[in-house]
Amino acid sequence: MGRIFDWIDARFRVKKPHGGFLQRSLPGKVSYWYCLGGVAFTLFLTLLLSGLLLSFYYVPSGDEAFQSILRITREVRFGRFIRSLHRWSAHLLIIFILLHTVRVVVHGAYRPPRELNWLAGVGTLVVAFGSGFTGYLLPWDQKAYWATVVGTSMAGTVPVIGKTLLYLLRGGPDVDGTTLVRFYSLHVLWFPLIMSLLLWAHFHMVKRQGISGGL
């Protein structure tokens, strides 16, 4: 492995500019609890990869979405496995982000100078919930449809901006094909892009500030 890395490094040159980061010493109290963020990141990568594979077969249209999901599950080779991998990774991502947040709270790692990183983290949590909500509609079955009717109706009860918010989410007064395309766009383009930017900022700050020392 070392020789392969050296071969790549001779061309890619990451070791020298990033040497300080790759070889820095960690605070003595770092433990397995500090791996929770890394697990969340691994799950995010799994979601990206399985989502890319699902996008080969999923059709984001009111007429074909449900059938395309059936096809993925019943006919496409490894389709059921990839779909389950995507769903389980999504559930686990939420759980691990929350566990990671608990770790950060217990260790008081949200305190200065890490308050901006805390906010970037809150952003990732909001985007993860948004991704879960938009992804839930995509199978376009009864459960998905009614969950979205209820969820978007709740947004409609927000004072002052509620109606605008409801129209913005649904793409009109009702949940229909336009809503499906809108949720698909948010789910596969907007949210992964925003999540990637937030995670870049999150990791950049961890890199620059170093990891906190724990209790």
Contacts with ligand HEM, residue ranges (CB under 6 A): 34, 36-38, 40-41, 44, 97, 100-101, 103-104, 107, 109-110, 114, 117-118, 121-122, 124-125, 199, 202, 206, 211-212
Shortest Å distance, C-beta 20 to ligand HEM? 17
Q: Give the integer Cα–Cα distance in Å for 169 and 32.
A: 40
Q: Which is nearer to ligand HEM, 83 or 100 (CB)?
A: 100
Shortest Å distance, C-beta 148 to ligand HEM? 24
Q: Which is nearer to ligand HEM, 157 or 196 (CB)?
A: 196
Shortest Å distance, C-beta 190 to ligand HEM? 16
Q: Which is nearer to ligand HEM, 22 or 161 (CB)?
A: 22
Shortest Å distance, C-beta 181 to ligand HEM? 26
- In which region does residue 5 sit, left (phi positive, over 0), alpha (psi from -120 to 50) or beta (all else)? alpha
Q: Which is nearer to ligand HEM, 124 or 134 (CB)?
A: 124
Q: Which is nearer to ligand HEM, 59 or 206 (CB)?
A: 206
Sign of CA dihedral 140, 143, 148, 153: positive
Cβ-defined contacts of 101-104 (< 8 Å, 24+): 101/125, 103/33, 103/34, 103/36, 103/37
Residue with tokens 């002052």, as numbered in its chain: 160
Sign of CA dihedral 101, 192, 207, 205: negative
Cis peptide before 60 (omega within 30 of 0): no
Shortest Å distance, C-beta 196 to ligand HEM? 10
